[in-house]
Structure 1
Amino acid sequence: MPTEQTDRTRATGYRMLLPEEWAQVPLRQGTEAAVSAILDDAYSRIPKDAPADKIGPYKRELARRFHGAVAAAQETQALDMYLPVKPMGDGNFNLGASIMVTETLLPGHGRGAAAEPAEVAVRLLAKDGVEGADLSSGEIDGALAVRREHVAGADQSRGVELGSRRVEYVMSVPGDPDRWFVAAFSTIGAGGPRDDLAEALVEWFDAVMANFRWRYE
């Protein structure tokens, strides 16, 4: 039986404060209901005077893009995905940014393997072979956090037409040293990964993570 102290110190969830334009899509349970609700909300904002012959194709393309993004996220075994799904000034349904939340165990080790937390976090970030990334470390809500920022280039072979700016936070889960939490942000900015919009969104995501909090039973 775990002690009362253990119960209080083992994190069982997380909380991120996001603007109302952003929606959470759970990727393991309740996915279809969440997707349907988001699409229904988007459809409800179609102007009443929109040409009837344009509405059907618009809805189909919107659903195709959104379902595609969700399916791609599910292939990564992620926990949750967050997307800006409401108008942000121009009325468009914007998929130009996303946050992906995943959880992982120590790479190449069983539970209970001993390693320095910072070393483990860097190893987790290095698994995909990204070179020249900007790495830093600190604490978020009392847990070790390693931050990586880099630019991923376009990849026409995979249908990725634009480069993206990416920021990942890898954090040790309080009360369970073998579990690691990853929050990964990606944006194409206004078309360039280092343009003014991308810079502003990276600063915004850093502020989101500064206010990240663990949940305990």
Structure 2
Amino acid sequence: MAEPTSPPTGYRVLLPSDWIQVPLRHGDTEETVRSIVSSAFARVPADAPRDKLTPFRLELERRLRAAVAEARKAKALELYLPMRLSGDVNLGASIIVSEALLPARTGSDGAASQAADPAEIAVQLLSRGAGDIDVSSGEVDGALAVRRERVAPAAAGQGVESASRRVDYFVSVPGDPGRWFVAAFSTIGAGDPRDDLADAMVEWFDALMTTFRWSWT
């Protein structure tokens, strides 16, 4: 297959209907949260009891606001969250999409040259696998990719109340060796990041990444 002559302008994945995409590049957090909640509750039957819906809506807004603010703080591009209005709000998992821009290498004369080769960066990422961190390489839609999996401990002082299972995909952007697409998945499982639900969620995320495709517009 011929190498692309220009970098992709976007991407797409086959996201399940009970997951929502939260764009983070434009607008403020409050506006984003209100829009998501209003759209979600527009599907609730008009005769649904208000005394039960109001606390549910307030809790949804609070948790969405916190998730969006945290993702924006990390300079993410998109945030994906699972949400089911037919039952409990499920924010025990998330996908944060961002990009990493690599600085150009500096030559012996002090002038900036081209960015490091993606293969060099992949080797550096692979060398960081140790202990509870599992790192492997492969391809995502024809682009070099590195997958990293680990368990992140709780950090109450930083507002992280539970340990989580995390899987990151670093995907080199075709036609632009200085850019990497990053998809960071996190789940707390059923309360234990190593339980069966966490295992199933990780398998689901890996399957989701097989549907990833670059797009040119």
TM range (shorter): 0.7 to 0.9
In structure 1, what is the Cα distance between the partners aligned to 2:15 and 2:28? Answer: 19
Structure 2 SS opposite 1:11:
coil
* Aligned-residue offset at 1:15: 0.5
Structure 1 SS opposite 2:9:
strand
* Corresponding position of 1:92: 88
* Corresponding position of 2:16: 19
In structure 2, what is the Cα distance between the partners aligned to 1:12 and 1:184? Answer: 20
How many equivalent pairs are there? 209
In structure 1, what is the Cα distance between the partners aligned to 2:71 and 2:127? Answer: 20
Checking the alignment, whether the CA contact within 8 Å between 2:104 and 2:114 is kept in structure 1 is: no
* Aligned-residue offset at 1:156: 1.1
* Corresponding position of 2:100: 104
In structure 2, what is the Cα distance between the partners aligned to 1:126 and 1:108? Answer: 21
TM-score computed with the length of structure 1 as normaliser = 0.83
* Aligned-residue offset at 1:100: 0.5
**Structure 2 unaligned runs (5+)?**
107-111
In structure 2, what is the Cα distance between the partners aligned to 1:148 and 1:213? Answer: 20
Instruction: Report the structure, 1 or 2, having the larger helix content.
Output: 1
TM-score computed with the length of structure 2 as normaliser = 0.83
* Corresponding position of 1:209: 209
CA-to-partner distance for each residue in 1:164-193, whole Å, 9 max, x for gaps?
Answer: 000000011011111110001000011110
* Corresponding position of 1:176: 176
* Aligned-residue offset at 1:62: 1.9
1:1-217 correspondence runs (5 A): 9-30=6-27, 34-44=32-42, 48=47, 50=49, 52=51, 54-87=52-85, 91-106=87-102, 109=105, 112-121=113-122, 123=124, 132-217=132-217
In structure 1, what is the Cα distance between the partners aligned to 2:39 and 2:7? Answer: 37
Checking the alignment, whether the CA contact within 8 Å between 1:15 and 1:213 is kept in structure 2 is: yes
- Distance verdict in 2 for CA 1:140–1:7, change over 3 Å: closer
In structure 2, what is the Cα distance between the partners aligned to 1:178 and 1:159? Answer: 33
* Aligned-residue offset at 1:9: 4.2
In structure 1, what is the Cα distance between the partners aligned to 2:172 and 2:66? Answer: 31
In structure 2, what is the Cα distance between the partners aligned to 1:68 and 1:125? Answer: 32
Checking the alignment, whether the CA contact within 8 Å between 1:112 and 1:178 is kept in structure 2 is: no
Structure 1 SS opposite 2:114:
coil
**Structure 1 unaligned runs (5+)?**
none
Give the residue type in structure 2 aligned to 1:21: D
